[in-house]
Amino acid sequence: MDATSSSLPQILAPAGNRAAFLAALAAGADAVYCGLKQLSARMEAKNFTLDELAGLTELAHEKNTHVYITLNTLLKPDEIHEAGKLLDSLRRFVHPDALIIQDLAWVDLAVQTGFQGELHLSTLANVSFGAALPLLSRIPKIRRVVLPRELGVDEIRQIAGGCPDNIGLEVFIHGALCYGVSGRCYWSSFLGGKSGLRGRCVQPCRRLYTQGRASKRFFSCQDLSLDVLVKILLSIPAVRAWKIEGRKKNPHYVYHTVLAYRMLRDHVQDAHMRKEALSLLSLALGRTGTHYGFLSQRPRNPVQVDRQTGSGLCVGHVSGDSGSPCVDLQEALIPGDVIRIGYEDEAWHTTLKISCPAERNSVFPLPSFSGKRLPNKGVSVFLTDRREPALMEKIAVLEAQIRLSPSVLPASSGFQAAVFRKRPSKTTAVDQHVYRLPQTIGKDLKNTGFWMSLECVQSIPDPVDIWWWLTPALWPVDEKGFGLLVHRLLEKGCRRFVLNAPWQIVFFPNPGKLSLWAGPFCNLSNPLAINSMQALGFSGVIVSPELGQPDYLSLPLQCSLPLGMVLSGNWPLSISRVLAESLKPDTAFDSPRGERAWASHPDANYWIYPNWTLDLKAFRGELEKAGYRKFIHLTEPVPDGVMMKHRPGNWNWKLSLL
């Protein structure tokens, strides 16, 4: 049964390298998504050159398989022209069926280059509520939305209920879960300049953290695995694709997961096939699986601190004395297997390639650890890669079918993006202080902001002059109440709002009569994306706080809207829908490097804050001279017992954002 010729959803496979791409074809994937060696949100994967993709895409099309290119990172101001050249080369030489994007600059570039394929909005774009879809259907070339992993099936149904005919939905069904909401995690960037929004995340959520006497992996999630529950999605026609996460995974994983979900889709009533599919998933070398919040009546917290969350299949545990450690194998090993001892942050962490077979229930001696500390008894051992001869033979057959393509380089394109230029504004810059609760209200309400909540609206006697800040992560369960609260403020005469997802503008029927600013959580970082906000009806933009000094200073002269920026205050490391049951909110916890933070629950989400603030006040004069007209200062209530630390809060100001 073929999803491309029926109403069945596509099975969408990941590919981070050539072998994984061919494994997806061998397993019969309906579509493959993959990234280039630049501008991809999985830069730690090997990814592809344009030359490689040209030949692979041609082969995929011969097999009736679509190819989607992930260009789903933020673009910096100086990357616009190179991004345009890259897209022009993709259009002329590779011919992908779609691009997966989060940055709206790609919409403008797709129009400018004449790209003929579709645009799919990445989960990083955070389209998390149904009212946004009619707006998205009017944006050129956007034809699909990748929904957040946090949604349950009832929420997916709610979103699908208002889905326009020209928009399809894509739902993650299997693979790694990020602790933070996609597009709302700055943990890796804030601690070292390696941004998850740029594909460079170093996964600080996977580390051990300490609260009190407990050291646990409080933020390390199990993998999503909907397995047999995917049959429920077949009843939602707007869901056009089932997405398997894993562009850093090996061919074995890709092949097994694609085969399994094809069985679960195509043979939904066949008990034998369901059993076979579950067996394939159990051997796919992923983490322990969870349904997460898919079933609203039986949600599962994906953070289970007493369970293994190491990547790969746990094949045994270290035993033997300290001088000659070995592994009591629960699974057989074959030559070519790669095993990992422990977690990456443990002193004995190492990987080994197996040269000789080992039987299940046997004792496997470990070789020398080359100066590393020997592992303790009980340390987990994971199988992370396997190259079965049968699969490698299938890959070799497909490899022989690839035709060589002429050299393709971005430099072969002479494309130059059209970018708006303007004269610097002479208006006076203002400071805006933003609070969570109305315990202190200054005299100048016009430059005071509050996070919008029913408590704040009821507590402030005259809310008209206040800037109302909207949540960065809105869920379907809260959508109706959220809309009613916005309507209530508009009826009271409120006219100033900061929206922290561009799609929230749908709650404002007459944006031209209001002052609506795109907030910092919109992650706007380049002139084309910022200028697109004007077409949506925004009055100004508060740019992404991840930027560095050169990026900040170059933007105002290239943008059609007035700009603001977060100058100081409490900026979250991450925003999540869940918290480990054993982690106490509003109580400090520590990282292995001594970084301290706390979790708060001010709205429908959990916010993780470090105990130091973002602070660029020393550069205010330079920024005002560059053209910034609004400076934001964020103030959060600090829990009792959490001491704020005095340390430079320059974030990426002196770094090159990666």
Per the CB < 8 A criterion, the answer to whether 14 and 175 are in contact is: yes
**CA–CA gap between residue 315 and residue 436 (Å, rounded):** 48
Residue recorded with tokens 């034998």 = 272
**CA–CA gap between residue 111 and residue 115 (Å, rounded):** 7
Residues 6+ apart with CB under 8 A from 76: 525, 526, 547, 551, 657
Structure tokens at 414: 């002479």
For the chain, which residues score pLDDT lower than 70? 1-6, 38-46, 322, 368-371, 405-413, 421-426, 439-444, 657-658
For 313-385, CATH number out of 2.40.30.10, 2.60.40.1510, 3.40.50.300, 3.40.30.10 equals: 2.40.30.10
Is residue 301 classed exposed, middle or buried when 0-12, 13-18 and 19+ CB atoms within 10 A define those classes? middle
Sign of CA dihedral 600, 606, 607, 611: positive
Residues 6+ apart with CB under 8 A from 395: 19, 22, 23, 26, 251
- pLDDT of 4 reads 47
Q: Do domains 3-204+221-285+391-405 and 430-635 have the same CATH topology?
A: yes
For the chain, domain boundaries: 3-204+221-285+391-405, 313-385, 430-635
CATH of domain 430-635: 3.20.20
Residue 542 main-chain phi, psi, to 5 deg? -100, 115
Residues present in the chain in total: 658
**CA–CA gap between residue 182 and residue 243 (Å, rounded):** 15
Q: How many CB atoms sit inside 10 A of residue 465's CB?
A: 14
Task: Give CA angle at 616 (614, 620), nearest 5°.
Answer: 150
Report the C-alpha dihedral over residues 471, 475, 477, 481, rounded to 10 degrees. Answer: 30
Residues 6+ apart with CB under 8 A from 621: none
Per the CB < 8 A criterion, the answer to whether 620 and 431 are in contact is: no
**CA–CA gap between residue 472 and residue 461 (Å, rounded):** 25
Mean pLDDT in the chain? 92
Is residue 4 classed exposed, middle or buried when 0-12, 13-18 and 19+ CB atoms within 10 A define those classes? exposed
Strands 118-121 and 589-590: unpaired
Q: Which helix (H) or strand (E) element contains residue 183?
A: none
Q: Give Rg (Cα) of the chain.
A: 25
CATH architecture of 3-204+221-285+391-405: Alpha-Beta Barrel (3.20)
- pLDDT of 199 reads 86
- pLDDT of 41 reads 47
- pLDDT of 367 reads 78
- 530: nearest Cα among 562, 567, 499: 562
**CA–CA gap between residue 520 and residue 514 (Å, rounded):** 19
- pLDDT of 648 reads 86
